[in-house]
């Protein structure tokens, strides 16, 4: 375990007040906290989350990496966790909800299933889905499976179990590269995030998403918002958004 050294970082603020101490950059190379395993992936990799450390009754859940090839948001959440003092972590965090996809460079999990179309919703479809190869492709034409049934994949199943156990007051899922805050019906929290990330507020992403995590949350009456980062490199994401995410991790954003 590293010997933690703290420095005041005036850029990590909320409502104009210095909210926390942050770990000096030279010591952000590893975590100062240990995660808890909440399940295993399709290939047997551990699924980890970092538990909230203060005022857990108001804790939300933030996660990234449901699509394994969306690495900027994974790097951003990891960097945020390694920047704030452990004791000030206000929300639960999953850095990567799809470790197999991350390791293999896949949007899907190891079974070829798009996890964001595998939740047991009323509109779940077993007909598969398509996605855009990259931001330069004109059409969404790369096929992925949606599973044998809603919730068929271990990553989906264990995430639902964790949410049932933690009962977060809200959930923020990080994706890329659509550059928006997809708030759906949750406009109040969405507007706060628009101010923090300086991204436009949207209601949907412009195409159907049967079996999506957001739809499942709405059916469970869980406040949820998707933060879609723009197309961005890892170096740039920690330069542009680190202070924002660090503030978010220590901020009681849904109760102020």
Which stretch of 10-14, 141-145, 170-174, 192-196 has the lowest confidence by average pLDDT? 10-14
Residue ranges for the binding site for Zn(2+)? 67, 70, 175
153, 155, 176, 228: the catalytic one is 228
Q: What average pLDDT score do residues 56-66 get?
A: 91
Average pLDDT, the chain: 90
181-238 pLDDT tens trace: 999 888 899 999 999 999 999 887 666 789 999 999 999 999 999 999 999 999 999 9
CA 71 to chain centre: 11
Provide mean pLDDT across the span 85-113: 97
CA-to-CA distance for 151 and 164, rounded, in angstroms? 14
Asked if 23 and 85 touch (Cβ cutoff 8 Å), the reply is yes
Contact between 22 and 246 under an 8 Å Cβ cutoff? The reply is yes
Q: Which residues pair with 23 in a beta bridge?
A: 6
pLDDT at 76: 98
Coil, strand or helix at 92: strand
CA distances (Å), origin 166, targets 16, 73, 125, 217:
30, 22, 28, 14
Residue 155: active-site member: no
Which of the four pLDDT bands, split at 50, 70 and 90, describes residue 6? very low
Domains of the chain, each with CATH number or no CATH: 6-255 (3.40.630.10)
109-113 contacts at long range (C-beta below 8 A, 24 or more positions apart): 109/41, 109/42, 109/68, 109/153, 109/155, 110/41, 110/42, 110/43, 111/42, 111/145, 111/147, 111/153, 112/144, 112/145, 113/144, 113/145, 113/146, 113/147, 113/152, 113/153
Bridge partners of 171, per DSSP, are: 61, 224
Q: Stretch 133-147: mean pLDDT, rounded?
A: 94
pLDDT attached to residue 255? 65
């Amino acid at each position: 375990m590293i010997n933690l050294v703290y420095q005041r970082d005036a850029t990590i603020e909320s409502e104009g007040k210095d909210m926390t101490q942050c770990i000096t950059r030279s010591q952000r190379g590893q975590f100062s906290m240990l995660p808890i395993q909440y399940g295993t992936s399709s290939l047997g990799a551990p699924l980890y989350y970092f538990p909230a450390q203060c005022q857990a009754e108001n804790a939300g859940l933030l996660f990234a990496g449901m699509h394994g090839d969306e690495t900027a948001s994974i790097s951003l959440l990891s960097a945020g966790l390694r920047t704030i003092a452990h004791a000030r972590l206000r929300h639960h965090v999953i850095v990567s909800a799809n470790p197999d996809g991350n390791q293999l460079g896949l949007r899907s999990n190891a079974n070829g299933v798009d996890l964001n179309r595998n939740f047991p919703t009323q509109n779940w479809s077993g007909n598969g889905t398509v996605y855009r190869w990259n931001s330069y492709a004109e059409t969404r034409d790369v096929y992925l499976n949606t599973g044998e049934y809603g919730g068929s994949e271990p990553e989906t199943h264990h995430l639902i179990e964790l949410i049932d156990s933690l009962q977060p007051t809200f959930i923020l899922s990080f994706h890329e590269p659509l550059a928006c805050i997809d708030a759906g019906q949750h406009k109040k929290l969405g507007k706060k995030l628009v101010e923090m990330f300086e991204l436009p507020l949207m209601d949907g992403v412009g195409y159907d998403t049967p079996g999506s995590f957001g739809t499942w949350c709405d059916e469970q009456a869980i406040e949820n918002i998707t933060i879609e980062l723009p197309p961005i490199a890892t170096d740039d994401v920690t330069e542009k958004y680190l202070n924002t995410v660090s503030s978010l991790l220590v901020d009681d954003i849904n109760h102020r």
